[in-house]
């Protein structure tokens, strides 16, 4: 339960997540403990606990809290997991994951976003998160394999190179669909019998683009 000293907007935030179907207590706790106001632009602080996506630097967005909670819940994160996030953005999703997993590697193609996310995560003491400036379509082989992969930018299809990064039993979640329309959240589980796909809910994410951004 959110603690009694929480301001009303944080109580409402928890209620909205529960009402929309989030029931995993560890996920709700992480959403309660990580201050979203730290991850939004200064001008949007008053709206930090509304259930909506908000603009951040470089024309990108911090995802809607429900979508962050839902994707996290669907990943079934555990303390021993190594997790890869593609699309650091503000660093908010990575901060939530840092509470629930052993280690998080998050990759962002904009230097400005990677640097500010790294600074926020350090300030919050999320010391099991590594923020890497890079192209999520080209994860260095030295990064190894992951128990969980979360893609937070839209792609038309899930490249085989992503599912190859999954450990046996691993789960990947990604928004799949047209870059500027509605995508479907797809969950892929790597089982002994092969990859099992499941379509979850409709979402809207900014597109995944190849390469490190040339602008800052
Ligand atoms: N998870 C973020 C929101 C992601 S917005 C949060 O919690 O705030 C999507 C992000 O993916 C953007 O910052 C965008 O720059 C980044 N992105 C898009 N294509 C990418 C790629 N190929 N590699 C790494 N990051 C990418």
Kindly state if the Cβ of 131 falls inside 6 Å of ligand 1. no
For 142-153, the pLDDT digits (tens) are 999 999 999 999
Provide the pLDDT for residue 5.
59
Give the residue-averaged pLDDT of 66-76. Answer: 98
Q: Whose CA is nearest to atom 14 of ligand 1?
A: 87
Mean pLDDT taken over the chain: 96
For 33-43, the pLDDT digits (tens) are 999 999 999 99
For residues 157 and 90, give the distance between their C-alpha atoms in angstroms, rounded to a whole number: 24
Distance 148 CA to ligand 1 centre (A): 17
Q: Select which of 23, 52, 63, 98 is catalytic.
A: 63
For 5-37, the pLDDT digits (tens) are 578 899 999 999 999 999 999 999 999 999 999
pLDDT at 2 over 60: no
For residues 138 and 164, give the distance between their C-alpha atoms in angstroms, rounded to a whole number: 12
Kindly state if the Cβ of 114 falls inside 6 Å of ligand 1. no
Kindly state if the Cβ of 108 falls inside 6 Å of ligand 1. yes
Domains of the chain: 7-203 (3.40.50.150)
98 catalytic residue (yes or no): no
């Amino acid at each position: 339960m959110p603690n009694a000293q929480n301001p009303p907007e944080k109580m409402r935030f928890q209620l909205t997540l529960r009402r929309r179907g989030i029931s995993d207590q560890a996920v709700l706790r992480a959403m309660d403990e990580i201050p979203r106001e730290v991850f939004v632009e200064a001008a949007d602080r008053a709206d930090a606990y509304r259930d909506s996506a908000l603009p951040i630097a470089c024309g990108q967005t911090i995802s809607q809290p429900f979508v962050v909670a839902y994707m996290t819940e669907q990943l079934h994160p555990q303390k021993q997991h190594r997790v890869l996030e593609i699309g650091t953005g503000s660093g908010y999703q990575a901060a939530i994951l840092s509470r629930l997993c052993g280690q998080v590697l998050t990759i962002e193609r904009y230097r400005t976003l990677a640097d500010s996310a790294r600074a926020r995560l350090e300030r919050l003491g999320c010391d099991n998160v590594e923020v890497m400036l890079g192209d999520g379509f080209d994860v260095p082989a030295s990064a190894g394999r992951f128990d969980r992969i979360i893609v937070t930018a839209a792609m038309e299809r899930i490249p085989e190179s992503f599912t190859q990064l999954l450990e046996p039993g691993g789960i990947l979640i990604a928004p799949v669909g047209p870059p500027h329309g509605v995508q479907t959240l797809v969950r892929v589980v790597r089982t002994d019998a092969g990859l099992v796909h499941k379509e979850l809910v409709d979402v809207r994410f900014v597109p995944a683009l190849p390469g490190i951004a040339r602008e800052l």
